[in-house]
Structure 1
């Protein structure tokens, strides 16, 4: 009997190592590729040889980031985060998530898992029918914006995880307070993806949190199949309509990079961006006069801010009335699906459904007179 106890202790230790994350001590221990993105650049999902837990690594989730890596350990069963793990750990499937971006809401929506969302930021601006219904029922709460988060409410909610987004860096005021309250968080980097399908692929993060990895991969596969089918149907031998984007903010017009998400969509739809000088990773400011000349060289004008009519657009600057796209009624805005408060579903469900956005752009860039009735997110300004 005296030999039995050392044997039992050794067997217990061996089993503990075999359980996966209980034997993993650092992110380097997660070497098995569970999901490798095909389109997105900002994340991957790995596991251990024998375990069920997984590690989501998020890289450079805001503009200008170059050496940022965050780790989200998704625990399953009886697994616990190893001592010294310096990332965020949650148990899956999660039941109470706070989404700080409308695109995060859309990821759960696309999987039929929006009932796992307990809190959102800016509920008046969300299009999700599920969220609005649960708002009425009192099962989802608005936690506020940016540095004006309702931390008292968050503390009372005790969410499993807060999904953050960053524009130019980490909001240390928010993350510091979340750490103080013991509330797990992770930054989501769909915002900085340049590929339309890369943005959509971040729904796999929601799938991982919900234990729906296979369903997530299948959902993305269907979206990508529809996108590629539409893209290949575009007549590449036809003239490519030249496209102007945005409207001025005060005296400055921000023009996106030729590598950006929106330009990828325009090119895949058979259009040509008028401003090719910017090939950086972010938008650049041009003066109003240069932008006016660009607008005059465009066949189509898209994404004109809050404008709902041509009159509202020309009220910003009477010179716009002479722009060819205005004269030819080829100005379109991406706010057909808009909440009463002004939130646009283009930046919600449109992020995970680039196939629908591409279908809109193909229709309006090559309009046969039926585009307005066929578009999901875009409407022609009259």
Structure 2
């Protein structure tokens, strides 16, 4: 109930008079637990006990967000939104959705509803087969990126809902124009989740929009079951292998927090992250010499940017050729499945299938075989 206190206080007085005789939902009644995530921290779904409409509450969907709440009222049957509701309103099931992140595409695909996607951002970077096939006949359009959105195209498309992606805050230029056009929107914060299963759980929100809540929950449960089974599989008696991540960007080597999504995957796969100094909520820049020493101490090196071969990696810095993990060819990149433009499916379907990512990592760390899904060994 604490999550809704500010919302209820804001609207209670107005609704008492404005909606007293209305057949529409009353916001103060949206206290029935419909779906409370088991792994995600950024959203939940509540009902009002009177009809099938639901209220989705999304919290802190971008970096640096604190005490940020957004609300999407999903209407069903003949229900109407309270006149003073300040959030976004959409009628379910949605039929035409615009996805501004590739992970949003994967959420609909995971529940077999990619057909509801009518627009994306950066279509050349989308791996999804349905999107790539239907772009050819113009059924799925590229609506642009960030403030360079094609609002004329969006006005003609009239999507039921836009799923937005925020980096440091709300893009008020975009949201203001969408309100002017009457296009509902909501920010999706899956990328803020540190739990691999927490990221995947946002697919349930996509299912809610499609009136497929039960199917979405079942899909998530199957993914979680397979993930937990892999995590619980006995590891070899050998010490946990040490794992290095990333490559320098403009002479700066960024390393993630020990609490981050990628580190959770590494640890659940039986590995150990080499950098223990950062327990914040963001990546930090590490001195090149220190990063080089960390790489020298690693048994495996993962996620090496755009590199497809060891030659490309060592071309970045000749010193890399002398690192033991490079000499032993234990360097793996997460770009096994990518588009010609360089879009990686690791950041698309991999977001909703952490079980498959975990399987790849366990395969890598075991040293017995080669990964088959998102990772490839650099030669």
Give TM class, smaller chain.
over 0.9
Whichever of the two has the greater Rg, that structure is 1
1:22-74 C-alpha deviation (Å, 9 max, x unpaired) = 131x3x42100000100000000000112100000000001111110000001
Decide which moves more: 223-232 or 180-189. 180-189
1:196-228 C-alpha deviation (Å, 9 max, x unpaired) = 000000001100000000000000000000000
Per the alignment, residue 376 of structure 1 pairs with 373
Per the alignment, residue 29 of structure 2 pairs with 29
Per the alignment, residue 320 of structure 1 pairs with 320
Pairing 1:39–2:39 present: yes
Per the alignment, residue 124 of structure 1 pairs with 124
Distance (whole Å) between structure 1 residues aligned to residue 253 and residue 96 of structure 2: 40
Report the alpha carbon displacement of residue 15 of structure 1 after superposing the two structures with TM: 9.2
What RMSD in Å do the two structures reach over aligned CA positions?
1.3
Per the alignment, residue 181 of structure 1 pairs with 181
Q: TM-score, normalised on structure 2?
A: 0.93
Q: Residues 234 and 270 of structure 1 are in contact (CA less than 8 Å); yes or no, is this contact kept in structure 2?
A: no
Which structure 1 residue ranges, 5 or more long, are not aligned?
A: 1-12
SS in 1 for 2:136: helix
1:103-148 C-alpha deviation (Å, 9 max, x unpaired) = 0000000011011001000111111111111111211100011111
Divergent runs of 4+, >2 A: 13-17
Alignment of 1:233-312 (within 5 A): 233-235=233-235, 237-312=237-312
Distance (whole Å) between structure 1 residues aligned to residue 177 and residue 345 of structure 2: 30
Q: Residues 47 and 53 of structure 1 are in contact (CA less than 8 Å); yes or no, is this contact kept in structure 2?
A: yes
Q: TM-score, normalised on structure 1?
A: 0.92
Per the alignment, residue 336 of structure 1 pairs with 336
Decide which moves more: 75-84 or 172-181. 172-181
Per the alignment, residue 69 of structure 1 pairs with 69
Are residues 272 and 113 of structure 1, via their aligned partners in 2, closer, same or farther at CA, if it must alter by over 3 Å? same
Q: Residues 108 and 114 of structure 1 are in contact (CA less than 8 Å); yes or no, is this contact kept in structure 2?
A: yes
Alignment of 1:62-211 (within 5 A): 62-211=62-211
Q: Residues 266 and 273 of structure 2 are in contact (CA less than 8 Å); yes or no, is this contact kept in structure 1?
A: yes
Q: Residues 61 and 190 of structure 1 are in contact (CA less than 8 Å); yes or no, is this contact kept in structure 2?
A: yes
Distance (whole Å) between structure 2 residues aligned to residue 255 and residue 164 of structure 1: 27
Task: Work out the number of aligned pairs and report it.
Answer: 361
Q: Residues 25 and 50 of structure 2 are in contact (CA less than 8 Å); yes or no, is this contact kept in structure 1?
A: no
